[in-house]
């Protein structure tokens, strides 16, 4: 039979310790609902009393209609020399009114004697009494053994005694934390195996960090050695280098190790959960994340693309759809005819592989990439270019007669103004428009839209959402080629365009023009 593994998510608490990450109360509530719908077993909501945001979360989380997941409040054992019923932190954990409480305690004698300044015996009492008191108040307790692996390597007998203290207190799970993230896989597995033997019927969990780049590997090793719970975060968010990434752990447990997870039926929603978490944290998604990243099943080399086209499993270790992802073909100067055919088909363009235009297009593509263009993140520009070569859907909606940008700086008022003039020919008529903005690209964008909107009102809802600039040949100094990539959105649709030139305004204009042309060619719908 498949072994049952519980997933404990700490994105709302440990994940927010990641540099540059902050979740509002509303975002934490929405993410909790998303985690619940995916099938996560435990959701660590935060540390009651540590900040007003976590307090507000627990107050409002009580009204959530979660179907499966249990919200947990996180905190520490009682303080040394304080009665457990009088400890303010313990009181706040109870007041959070969550069905589960997770508390951490000291395992490493270095921390016992040098950090919290108490005796080994008092530390054991702090653990047992804290767990027992919370249980007596109707809470189920998960005990996190902080710095467990460092403590075990320093004094294994004492480290085990701290876990047994939690067990005597009535802990439902005992979790081993590699808090510093410095343990290697072999010794980690050996220690987890010994702990599982020592605790008997009390299930063991693992909580790993990625400081050595091993967070996922350690978590999987822990399960293989008997652990029944894995703690981690979505996308590996967390302090320093991050926590063990649940978006990698979960599919490995299900697809590679054959474990039984409550979220197994929802595995195809994993990429959606990953993207949603980044959206809530206002982060740009990491395209290179295993399983859920947009590059996970992307093929660039011509040989790889050709093989994947004939038999996907030749270069894909799983069916991307299992985790909600898909195969992508990247086009570049390394592309061959097979890559172009696959990419065209992916964009909904059917072409004849024997068409001479395909060979001409491939040569032009390589020439453009040599000049600084890059189409991996610019599908819209790629489709427009392809359409021009194969003479399909290549209606010219407007002709550019000229454009000009003036940037004026008032040093006394510390104000910068940009004015753009655009002259277009539309259906034989000349549209000559002027627009102002703070920056030159924004002024060009406004002037272009102003010239087109009367004839093409469908462009009204387009918005520029990202603008990237990269110097291609830095050795050329100020005369270097500049590549500009733009992302444009309309509703939920997003498309990328590219321009390249030794003049940043020209490169920006090319990307802006392609973005509008793509929309008018029905590609943006």
| SS3 (DSSP) at 140 | strand
Domain assignment present for 433: yes
Let me know whether 32 and 167 are in one domain. yes
- DSSP for 242-273 reads -B-BHHHHHHIIIIIS--B-TTGGGGGGHHHH
Let me know whether 246 and 340 are in one domain. no
DSSP 8-state code for residue 475 = G
Residue 404 pLDDT level (bands cut at 50, 70, 90): very high
The Cα angle at residue 116 between residues 114 and 119, in degrees rounded to 5: 80
Residue 352 pLDDT level (bands cut at 50, 70, 90): low
- CATH number of the domain where residue 188 is located: 3.20.20.70
Domain assignment present for 127: yes
* pLDDT tens, position by position, 463-497: 888 888 888 776 667 778 899 999 998 887 889 89
Let me know whether 525 and 432 are in one domain. no
Domain assignment present for 63: yes
Average pLDDT in the 29-41 region? 97
Q: How many domains does the chain have?
A: 4
Let me know whether 276 and 336 are in one domain. no
Q: What pLDDT does residue 301 have?
A: 56
Domain assignment present for 365: no
Let me know whether 214 and 318 are in one domain. no
Share of residues in the chain with pLDDT > 70 (%): 89
Average pLDDT in the 72-95 region? 96
Average pLDDT in the 191-219 region? 97
Let me know whether 131 and 92 are in one domain. yes
Let me know whether 222 and 254 are in one domain. yes
Q: What pLDDT does residue 524 have?
A: 44
Tell me the residue range of the domain where 95 lies. 6-280
Q: Is the pLDDT of residue 337 over 70?
A: no
Q: What pLDDT does residue 525 have?
A: 44
> Which of 430, 455, 480 is the C-terminal boundary of a domain?
455
Q: What pLDDT does residue 391 have?
A: 63
Let me know whether 451 and 468 are in one domain. no
Kind and range of the H or E run holding 435 = strand 429-437
User: Under a CB-based contact definition with an 8 Å cutoff, are residues 436 and 407 in contact?
Assistant: no
Q: Is the pLDDT of residue 309 over 90?
A: no
Domain assignment present for 289: no
Whose tokens are 């809802």? That residue is 461
Let me know whether 52 and 72 are in one domain. yes
Average pLDDT in the 37-45 region? 97
The two tokens of residue 6 are: 């519980």
- CATH number of the domain where residue 518 is located: 3.30.160.340
Q: What pLDDT does residue 393 have?
A: 56
Q: Which residues of 231-260 are buried (b: 16+ CB within 10 A; e: fewer)?
A: bbbbbbbbbeebbbbbbbbbbbbbbeeebe
> Which of 432, 455, 478 is the C-terminal boundary of a domain?
455
Let me know whether 273 and 411 are in one domain. no
Q: What is the dihedral of CA 145, 147, 151, 154, to 10 degrees?
A: 170
Let me know whether 64 and 42 are in one domain. yes
SS (H, E, C) 325-367: CCCEECCCCCCCHHHHHHHHHHCCCCCCCCCHHHHHHHHHHHH
Domain assignment present for 290: no
- CATH number of the domain where residue 427 is located: 3.30.160
* pLDDT tens, position by position, 110-166: 999 999 999 999 999 999 999 999 999 999 999 999 999 999 999 999 999 999 999
Q: What pLDDT does residue 335 have?
A: 54
Backbone angles phi, psi at 400, to 5 degrees: -90, 120
Q: Which pTM value belongs to this model?
A: 0.76
- Give dist(CA 279, CA 206) in Å, integer: 28
Domain assignment present for 392: no
Average pLDDT in the 171-189 region? 97
Residue 412 pLDDT level (bands cut at 50, 70, 90): confident
Let me know whether 70 and 171 are in one domain. yes
Domain assignment present for 291: no
- Give dist(CA 359, CA 300) in Å, integer: 18
């Amino acid at each position: 039979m498949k072994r049952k593994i519980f997933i404990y998510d700490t994105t709302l608490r440990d994940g927010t310790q990641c540099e540059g990450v902050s979740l509002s109360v509303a975002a934490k509530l929405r993410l909790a609902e998303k985690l619940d719908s995916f099938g996560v077993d435990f959701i660590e909501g935060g540390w009651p009393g540590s900040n007003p945001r976590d307090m507000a979360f627990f107050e409002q989380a009580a009204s959530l209609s979660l179907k499966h997941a249990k919200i947990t409040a996180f905190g520490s054992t009682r303080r040394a020399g304080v009665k457990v019923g009088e400890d303010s932190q313990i009181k706040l954990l109870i007041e959070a009114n969550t069905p589960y409480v997770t508390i951490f305690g000291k395992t490493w004698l270095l921390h016992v004697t040098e950090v919290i300044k108490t005796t080994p015996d008092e530390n054991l009492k702090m653990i047992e009494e804290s767990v027992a008191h919370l249980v007596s108040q109707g809470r189920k307790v998960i005990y996190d053994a902080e710095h467990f692996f460092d403590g075990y390597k320093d004094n294994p007998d004492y480290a085990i005694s701290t876990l047994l203290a939690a067990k005597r207190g009535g802990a439902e799970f005992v979790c081993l934390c590699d808090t510093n993230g410095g343990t290697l896989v072999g010794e980690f597995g050996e220690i987890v195996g010994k702990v599982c033997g020592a605790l008997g019927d009390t299930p063991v969990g693992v909580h790993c960090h990625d400081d050595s780049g091993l967070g996922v590997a350690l978590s999987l090793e822990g399960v293989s050695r008997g652990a029944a719970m894995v703690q981690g975060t979505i996308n590996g968010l967390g302090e320093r280098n991050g926590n063990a990434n649940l978006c990698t752990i979960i599919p490995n447990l299900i697809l590679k190790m054959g474990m039984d997870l409550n979220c197994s039926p929802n595995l195809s929603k994993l990429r959606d959960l990953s993207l949603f978490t980044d959206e809530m944290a206002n982060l740009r998604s990491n395209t290179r994340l295993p399983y859920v990243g947009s590059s996970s099943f992307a093929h660039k080399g011509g040989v790889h693309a050709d093989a994947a086209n004939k038999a996907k499993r030749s270069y894909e270790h799983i069916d991307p759809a299992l985790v909600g992802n898909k195969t992508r073909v990247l086009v570049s100067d390394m592309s061959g005819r097979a890559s172009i055919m696959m990419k065209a088909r992916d964009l909904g363009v059917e072409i004849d592989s024997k068409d001479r235009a395909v060979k001409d297009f491939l040569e032009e593509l390589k020439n453009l990439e040599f000049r600084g263009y890059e189409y991996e993140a610019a599908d819209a520009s790629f489709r427009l270019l392809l359409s021009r070569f194969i003479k399909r859907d290549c209606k010219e909606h407007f002709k550019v007669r000229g454009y000009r940008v003036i940037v004026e700086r008032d040093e006394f008022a510390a104000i910068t103004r940009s004015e753009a003039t655009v002259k277009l020919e539309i259906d034989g008529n000349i549209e000559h428009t002027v627009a102002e903005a703070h920056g030159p690209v924004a002024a060009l964008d406004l002037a272009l839209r102003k010239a087109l909107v009367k004839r093409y009102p469908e462009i009204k809802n387009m918005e520029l959402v990202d603008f990237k600039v990269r110097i291609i040949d830095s050795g050329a100094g100020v005369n270097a080629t500049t590549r500009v990539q733009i992302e444009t959105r309309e509703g939920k649709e997003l498309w990328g365009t590219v321009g390249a030139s030794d003049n940043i305004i020209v490169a920006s204009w090319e990307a802006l023009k392609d973005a509008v042309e793509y929309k008018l060619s029905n590609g943006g719908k």
